[in-house]
Amino acid sequence: MAVTSNVVTQGSMGTNLGTALTGISVRDRSTKEGRNDPNVPGSKVFVVGYEGDRDSLNPHNWSYGTRIWATVNIAFIGGIVGVASSVDSAALVQASEDFGVSEVVESLATGLFWSRSGPMCGGQSPMERVYAFPVFANAAFMGPIFGPVVGGFIGEFSLVSWRWTEWITLILSGLILASFVFVQPETYAPILLKWKAAHLRSLTGDERYRAEVEIREDNIWLPLRTALYRPFILTFQEPVIMLLALYLTVIYIILFTFLNGEGLTGLSFIGISIGLCLASLLVPFIYRFAKNDLAKIKAEGCTRLPPEFRLWFAMLGAPAIPISLFWMGWTARPSVSYWSPLIASVLFGYGILGVFISSYQYIIDSYETYSASALASVTLIRYVAAGGSVEYAIPFYTNVGVPWTCTILGAISALCVPLRYLFFAFGPRIRKRSKYAFI
């Protein structure tokens, strides 16, 4: 902690001490903020904030190394959740024989896990998210893709039990948890400022130093109740959220119906991971595009890019999904080289990452304050639906056949492709009619 007497004033006022400390605003307390609290003297409250735009306490001003590590460390959590959710799918045969149940019943383990999974995202600025969010997106997809690769070989390796799919996942989870607990820095601004206020109270003995989060004394049940019902309200009242949730659900259903392979078969998922990497190569170009557009917008007097800018990833990637499924479905046969459907899977990985990045960032930019509730709804819908798809994947491919199954899934995904272009053209008009969206 810096010594408070060495901090330069940047506009705080109200008391002598207030003019000696940066980032402190002084104002009257209301009754709701503890005005009648006998432990807090006076009618003023010293609201603790950051010391300007360059405050070293602000995570946005940390070194690149610290910010990159904090981002990657959280991405590891998303990755290991994906591994844990898919690694059993590659050992279905061994596990079902061990428990004496059918493969469909055993796949319940994968389905139930997926229905509980969820994404993690950080609090980066809009420009930082151009680079940061693809890190989370890659981790979210790489996990379930590499799970079957690892699990397939463990399942076929005669010297170890198929249960090592779980033990290896547990070991990796423990290492990531230890890294998170002991190394990951706190990045949530209200908590950081709360710690700062507590430090100032301990230095001065003055209980009037409070962070904004300490001043608000809301009933805990009010925000909890809001957090529970608002996602459903947004889903049914906002066509953007409803349609994006539908599109992501279709993509995740397609991905999770693939989770059925063992041994060398699991290596086929590597093609999807290559596609994810190819889509990631677009990030520097999108960032340069964003930087140039933002400069033009600022010259016109505005301060931010429109949410529709986030749709470029999807507009470049969405058509690849139905193309890859038609290609994969009608070339996955003994008379055609296996390299053909594997190349098609690269195109599939390229498309799903672009759609995922665009969908989440478009919702974040469009709904700002309400984006957490909107993303909660989208996540719940797609994981519950996709988790259930694991149960009918085996009968679906067995009874309908690979060509027609992929054709059906490709046709459904093709119907969703125009959504991105419609949002790009009519997004501002749609947001003007919403009471939750940013205009």
Task: Report pLDDT digits (tens) over 45-87.
Answer: 888 888 877 888 888 888 888 888 888 888 888 888 878 777 7
Structure tokens at 157: 């390796």
pLDDT at 261: 57
Residue 120 confidence (pLDDT): 47
- 311-351 confidence digits (pLDDT tens): 998 999 999 999 999 999 999 888 899 899 999 999 999 99
pLDDT at 9 over 80: no
Q: Which residues contact 339 (CB under 8 A, 6 or more apart)?
A: none
- The pLDDT value given to residue 119: 47
User: Which tens digit of pLDDT belongs to each residue from 372-408?
Assistant: 888 888 888 887 777 777 667 778 888 888 899 999 9
3-state SS, residue 307: helix
Collapsed DSSP state (helix, strand, coil) of residue 46: strand
Q: How far apart are the first and last CA of the chain?
A: 41
191: helix, strand or coil: helix
Q: How would you class 294 by CB atoms within 10 Å of its CB: exposed for 0-12, middle for 13-18, buried for 19 or more?
A: middle
Token reading at 187: 């990045």
* pLDDT at residue 32, as a whole number: 56
Instruction: Say what the pLDDT of residue 19 is.
Output: 42
291 and 127 Cβ atoms separated by less than 8 Å: yes
275-305 confidence digits (pLDDT tens): 999 999 988 888 888 888 888 888 887 778 8
For residue 205, pLDDT beyond 50: yes
Segment (H or E) for 195: helix 189-204
The residue that leads in pLDDT, 266 or 60, is 60
What pLDDT was estimated at residue 42? 55
Which range has the worst mean pLDDT, 92-96, 121-125, 202-206, 213-217?
121-125
User: What is the 3-state composition of the chain as percent helix, strand, coil, each rounded to the nearest 5?
Assistant: 70, 5, 25
Q: Is 209 helix (H, G, I), strand (E, B) or coil?
A: strand
Most trustworthy range by pLDDT among 77-86, 173-182, 205-214, 250-259? 173-182
For residues 197 and 39, which has the higher predicted lDDT (pLDDT)? 197
CA angle at residue 149 from 147 to 154, to 5 degrees?
A: 90
On the question of pLDDT at 133 being above 80, the answer is yes
Average of per-residue pLDDT across 112-140: 67
Kindly report the pTM of this predicted structure.
0.77
Which position has the higher pLDDT, 213 or 354?
Answer: 354
pLDDT value at residue 351: 94
Tokens in use for 253?
Answer: 């259903």
Structure confidence at residue 6 (pLDDT): 35
| Burial of 32 (C-beta count, 10 Å sphere; 0-12/13-18/19+) | exposed
pLDDT of res. 317: 92
